[in-house]
Amino acid sequence: MSGDTSEPLRIGFLGYRFMGKAHANALARLPMFFPDAPDTERSVLVGRDESALADAAERLGFERTATDWRDVVDDVDVFYNLGPNHLHVEPTVAALEAGTNVLCEKPLAPTLDGAQEMADAASESDALAACAFNYRFVPAIQYARRLIDAGEVGDVRQVRGSYMQDWLVDDDAAWSWRNDEEMAGSGALGDLGAHTVDLARFLVGERTGEAERLSGHCQTFTEERPVEGEEGETRPVTVDDAYSAQVEYESGAMGTFEASRVAPGHKNDHSITVHGTEGSLRFSLERLNELEVMTGDARGYETVLVTDEDDPYVDHWWPPGHVVGWEHTFVHENYEFLSAVAEGEASETPRDGGGEAAGAGGDYHPNFQDALAVQRVLDGVQRSDDAGEWVSVD
């Protein structure tokens, strides 16, 4: 059902752990810092474990709980699918068929077929369907998009992205659903690489076009991992620990991407660099308030602190120089998404100076078509690795 802007938007969450906390925190912050955001009501939290669910609902501010998403999707205005990847398709499609607005975590699905089914459901629904690529909403990334759109780097020739983490370096780190192909679809490729591929599309996609062909490699270093709480029991690891890819875009520009969950010393190191005929930009999530810029006659990079009042979203927060953090990306994301839901119609310009307009249906970004384009790249990397050769992205 569509949101009624005269009443608070009733929100339902599937999932209450990592992403549930992040999005619930964002909803709590919205009325404090974004007074023009629509009112929301944390209506129902969905999970399997009734005891853990009740505790989570109290901590995260939800009014009630449910153990079956089928009881929820047509009873709220907005359904957040924050569950494991293998639970993305069925609940999301059901919500869209019921006319309920959806925000689904990335990657859209474990497989390209699943992502296509979700994108088709979104196309056939009057509801808004958004994919949670929160790094688009970092102020420095929005600022970088402005510079690229203004032609400050010239014609884009190269985009390079890297996402490094170290939480699986230890071979004795416990097995989880993220290590299982049926539940996750892929490892570092989908978990981390999806963010990088989307960020590249957001920054330079209008200048490079879509990825046309690529060469990809996936590697699993630890073949099995111990099961937590089960002495001596292990389960196989059926996804990649790391991947790399080379991409050719429609314009002839090239992309180079990699990710790893076994890179010692890297906690959440997501970086992206754009090289053009007139300059370069460089960003690292570990210094997310900064953008390194080299344009014009400059002989090297200048580090720009993106915390001024006229920078994207920053006027809602603190005085210049008082930095924002990772959690604030979710506040910005929820502001744009829920405002689009409440408006129910396309907006010609972003509310806060972002790179793309936010509005209903296909005019909101990142939507399911954006996520499907990312999934095609992820699928191409896996196919290329299987075949040992370059493949077309389709």
Count of structural domains, the chain: 2
In a domain, 4, yes or no: no
Which helix (H) or strand (E) segment holds residue 102: the answer is: strand 101-105
Give per-residue burial for 215-239: e unless 16+ CB within 10 Å, then b.
Answer: bbebebebeebbeeeeeeeeeebbb
In a domain, 197, yes or no: yes
Judge if 220 and 235 occupy the same domain: yes
Alpha carbon distance 31, 205 (integer Å): 33
pLDDT at residue 359, as a whole number = 34
Give the mean pLDDT of 128-132.
Answer: 98
CATH number at residue 81: 3.40.50.720
Residue 272 structure tokens: 């992206």
Judge if 174 and 253 occupy the same domain: yes
Judge if 119 and 196 occupy the same domain: no
Judge if 251 and 359 occupy the same domain: no
Judge if 190 and 317 occupy the same domain: yes
Judge if 292 and 347 occupy the same domain: no
Judge if 115 and 81 occupy the same domain: yes
Burial bucket for residue 95 (CB in 10 Å: 0-12, 13-18, 19+): buried
Nearest Cα residue to 109 out of 97, 96, 93: 93
**Domain interval for residue 174:** 137-324+375-392
Backbone angles phi, psi at 19, to 5 degrees: -75, -30
Tokens 């549930």, residue located: 20
In a domain, 230, yes or no: yes
Confidence of residue 156 (pLDDT cuts 50, 70, 90): very high
Alpha carbon distance 127, 153 (integer Å): 37
CATH number at residue 251: 3.30.360.10
- Per cent of the chain over pLDDT 70 is 94
In a domain, 381, yes or no: yes
Alpha carbon distance 234, 334 (integer Å): 39
Nearest Cα residue to 159 out of 204, 119, 190: 204
Is the confidence at residue 108, as pLDDT, over 80? yes
pLDDT at residue 344, as a whole number = 82
Judge if 182 and 300 occupy the same domain: yes
Q: How far is CA 331 from the centre of its chain?
A: 13
pLDDT at residue 268, as a whole number = 97
Where are the alpha helices (H) located in the chain, listed in sequence order?
Answer: 18-33, 50-60, 89-97, 112-124, 139-149, 181-184, 188, 194-208, 326-343, 368-387
Q: Say if CB 252 and CB 158 are below 8 A apart.
A: no
Q: What is the pLDDT of residues 328-370, one digit of tens each?
A: 999 999 999 999 999 983 333 344 444 443 333 447 999 999 9
In a domain, 380, yes or no: yes
